[in-house]
């Protein structure tokens, strides 16, 4: 992610990054087996980015906030050792609840989204980020926009930018 000085400054002071899952950690596609089980594609490099931030000493928390409820979200987040909240219909209210619980100001939160169900969260946080292939209804809401699509390294791009320009 190529950032100008103002965008680099926006990453300083971020204490929490909240990611949507579908369309951010995934390429927004699903495969459905004949028994109804859904499969999704995730990027290993995104997982490496999460690990690098977690082990960087930055003190930045990472978590997932998803409207969908799917065992794959819990499994992936468990493997990445990040908290996941699923089945959340009002993501903005849940985001405010999380911020209060963690004593984090909304201005200290970056939210990474890709579609209309992320709109209110993108509008509430200090640093709204959208993936390169975000739906047009939210694409203009991102203060930052990844160069890579969801499920194809967008999470890694955000993580790398945090490590390079974040608190530390």
List pLDDT tens digits, range 30-61.
Answer: 999 999 988 899 999 999 999 999 999 999 99
Q: Whole-prediction pTM value?
A: 0.95
Q: Is 83 helix (H, G, I), strand (E, B) or coil?
A: strand
C-alpha distance from residue 153 to each of 32, 44, 102, 109, 138 (Å): 23, 8, 28, 21, 19
Residue spans of the domains in the chain: they are: 5-165
How long a stretch of residues is the chain? 168
What are the backbone angles phi and psi of residue 112, rounded to the nearest 5°?
-115, 115
Looking at every residue in the chain, the average pLDDT score rounds to 94
Residue 2: pLDDT band with limits 50, 70, 90: confident
In whole angstroms, what is the distance from residue 45 CA to residue 34 CA? 30
For residues 28 and 151, is the Cβ–Cβ distance under 8 A? yes
Q: What is the mean pLDDT of residues 65-73?
A: 92
Residue 20: pLDDT band with limits 50, 70, 90: very high
In whole angstroms, what is the distance from residue 4 CA to residue 38 CA? 40
In whole angstroms, what is the distance from residue 44 CA to residue 156 CA? 9
In whole angstroms, what is the distance from residue 75 CA to residue 104 CA? 26
Q: What is the mean pLDDT of residues 5-15?
A: 88
DSSP H helix total and E strand total for the chain: 7, 8
In whole angstroms, what is the distance from residue 28 CA to residue 57 CA? 31
* pLDDT on residue 168: 46
* pLDDT on residue 64: 98
Q: In the chain, what percentage of residues exceed pLDDT 90? A: 85
Q: pLDDT by residue (tens digit) across 88-121?
A: 999 999 999 999 999 999 999 999 999 999 999 9
Q: Which two tokens stand for residue 7?
A: 């965008």
CATH fold for domain 5-165: Rossmann fold (3.40.50)
């Amino acid at each position: 992610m190529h950032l100008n000085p103002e965008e680099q400054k926006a990453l300083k002071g971020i204490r929490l990054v909240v990611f949507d899952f579908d369309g951010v950690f995934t390429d927004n596609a699903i495969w459905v087996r004949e028994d109804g089980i859904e499969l999704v594609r995730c990027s290993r490099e995104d997982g490496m980015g999460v690990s690098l931030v977690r082990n960087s000493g930055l003190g930045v928390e990472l978590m997932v906030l998803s409207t969908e409820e799917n065992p794959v979200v819990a499994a992936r987040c468990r493997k990445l050792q990040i908290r996941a909240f699923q089945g959340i219909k009002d993501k903005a209210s849940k985001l405010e609840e999380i911020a209060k619980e963690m004593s984090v100001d909304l201005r200290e939160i970056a939210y990474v989204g890709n579609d209309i169900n992320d709109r209110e969260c993108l509008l509430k946080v200090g640093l709204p980020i959208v993936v390169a292939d975000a739906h047009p209804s939210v694409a203009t809401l991102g203060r930052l926009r990844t160069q890579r699509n969801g499920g194809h390294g967008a999470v890694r791009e955000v993580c790398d930018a945090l490590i390079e320009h974040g608190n530390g």
